[in-house]
Amino acid sequence: MKTIYGILISCFLLVSLQSCIESAVEAEVPSSITGGNFPKTQGDLRALLTGLYDGERDEYNRTLYGEDRGDSFEVGLIGSVSDSWGQNLNGGNGPNWRVNYNLINNVNIIIAASENIEFNSEADKGQILGEAYFLRAFIYFQMAKIWGDVPLIAYPVDQNTEIVGRSPVAEVFALVFADIEMALNYFPNPGFVSKYSASMPAAYALKADASLWRGKVLGGGESDFTAAITAINNIQGVELLDDFGAIFDTKANNEVIFSIFMDYNEQAGMYASTVTSRDVNVDPVLNPDVPTSTSFNARHNYRPSEIIINLFTNDNDQRATRTFIPILTQDGNDADTEPDVLSISQNKFKGTDFNNDTFYDNDIIVYRWADMLLLRAEAKAALNQTTGAIADLNIVRNRANIGEYNGPTDKVSVEKEILDERGRELFLELKRYWDLVRFDAGGTINIYNQVPNLNGKNIPVLWPVNENVMAENELIEQTEGYN
């Protein structure tokens, strides 16, 4: 009998809890799920959740999805760009969703096991289950944006569980929103336990994000736009920082809603290192402030694109110099000439100096308040409430010191300005491609004209399913447009 192990293998089964956490989701254990293998205590559930956050960091710590397919990057000093950036995608190089399903299965184990565990308090139970439901909603939302239709699995599985095919994306979103509501109902308080764990504000941010996606990309319309606004209005305990740079230099600050923790000795570093140069490629005399690394911690695969740079038209914009910095070079032997720009480095995520090197250990910020203000502006503009949209837009613009928007107030013009403002505010925060897809679906732009590497192509905005996935599961069909 074909089983769901063609899709995933749980890492929790028949390994010690500590081993599962240390190896995140890499362990492959051909065993069945029995009551004896389930978590047995509240501490077990909390430890398994810790492993889930680590596994989600593995998946989220890359530009492959949020930036590469958009218009944010050009080729850097060293190159080695992705197939996604080149829009050269097929079943052979498409991403594999197996790790996502390992994570989902462990969430399902937490939810199922919680029914037979005695918690220290109802608040503890609510916090753990709120986080679990949030994580499942978050993972499925990411997968739905990447692949559209994906298999829906909301129960623990073993090697005897029958395989399932791809469920319609509308059904995936139904589960996403159901899980968000479960999370909101379970969280015991409206604030934060930690900015590094799911919370009620994070669940509202996810609800707003998913509502705008469904409203535009799936045609949900006004009810979803209204739901997004309501969700953002319910977020408590955050504010804009006065200093834009402090958002990235100060971990878990008051603007952050949900972030993924990074440290200098964890993983290979934060994804922004691929838009940063090694010092051997940079003249240190001409470039004392470029955040270079003396080792392979940085590799300048990409540079910020001219499209993004040209969004910064206001000389007073405090974000410009903190977003990117030129890498200068001297012309030949003529030392009297002005240096030329060799390339551009990101300057948002500077990392930390340690032992004579730079480690790119900035947190990965998933949601922050400026992001929410611009999402709320987008939702209001979609409802043709342009006055309210401009008001939210101006809050972000004023923090950036570029003054209030004084352009045309028709719906399309305001939407284009919101998209541009998101490009300025959120560059390299894994938002750009998803923004372009939404605004394309809403009719504001044509993504095939906007993204240089999509010009003249008809490749789908979704990704293909990896051929290995289809080989393991005969029910999985390729994403339409890649056959």
Higher pLDDT, 479 or 6: 479
- What span, in angstroms and rounded, lies between the C-alpha atoms of 314 and 472? 53
Structure tokens at 379: 């939702």
10 Å CB burial of residue 226 (0-12, 13-18, 19+) is middle
**What is the value of pTM for the model shown?**
0.92
pLDDT in tens, 255-291: 999 999 998 776 678 999 999 999 988 999 999 999 9
What was the pLDDT predicted at 334?
60
Asked if 159 and 32 count as a contact pair (C-beta separation under 8 A), the reply is yes
Position 29 scores a pLDDT of: 26
| Percent over 90 (pLDDT), the chain | 83
Average pLDDT estimate for 38-64:
95
Token pair recorded at residue 145: 């944006």
Asked whether the beta carbons of 326 and 312 are under 8 A apart, the reply is: no
The chain-wide mean pLDDT, for the chain, equals 91
- Listed range (208-222, 235-249, 318-332) with the worst mean pLDDT: 318-332
Best mean pLDDT range from 77-86, 240-249, 272-281: 240-249
What span, in angstroms and rounded, lies between the C-alpha atoms of 305 and 453?
12
pLDDT bin (cut points 50, 70, 90) of residue 14 is: very low
Residue 199 near residue 138 (C-beta atoms within 8 A): no
Of all residues in the chain, what percent carry a pLDDT higher than 70?
Answer: 91
pLDDT at 380 (0 to 100): 98
Q: How many CB atoms lie within 10 A of CB 171?
A: 14
Confidence of residue 17 (pLDDT cuts 50, 70, 90): very low
pLDDT of the residue at 268: 72
Contact 317, 301 (CB under 8 A): no
* 28 vs 401 pLDDT, higher one: 401
Give the residue extent of every domain in the chain.
Answer: 4-73+84-188+462-472, 219-261+368-445, 262-362
CB 102 within 8 A of CB 25: yes
Q: Angle of helix 98-113 relative to helix 42-60, nearest 10 degrees?
A: 160
User: Phi then psi for 340, rounded to 5 degrees?
Assistant: -100, 160
The pLDDT value given to residue 333: 60
The pLDDT of residue 15 is: 33
pLDDT at 3 over 60: no
The amino acid present at 66, given as its one-letter code, is G
Mean pLDDT of 335-355: 88
pLDDT at residue 133 tops 60: yes
- Average pLDDT (30-38) is 44
Helix axes 386-400, 369-382, angle to 10 degrees: 150
pLDDT in tens, 413-468: 999 999 999 999 999 999 999 999 999 999 999 999 999 999 999 999 999 999 99
Task: Give the model's pLDDT for residue 336.
Answer: 61
Residue 335's pLDDT is 60
Fold match between 4-73+84-188+462-472 and 219-261+368-445?
yes
Q: At 14, which amino acid appears?
A: L
Backbone phi and psi for residue 346, each to the nearest 5 degrees, phi listed first:
-70, 150
pLDDT (0 to 100) of residue 7: 42
Cα radius of gyration rounded to whole Å, the chain: 23
CATH number listed for the domain at residues 219-261+368-445: 1.25.40.390
Q: Is the Cα torsion angle 148, 149, 150, 153 positive or negative in sign?
A: positive
pLDDT at residue 240 is higher than 60: yes
**Number of helical (H) and strand (E) elements in the chain, helices listed first:** 16, 8
What pLDDT sits at residue 22?
A: 34
Residue 159 has pLDDT above 90, yes or no: no
* Domain 4-73+84-188+462-472 class in CATH: mainly alpha
Q: Give dist(CA 138, CA 473) in Å, integer.
A: 24
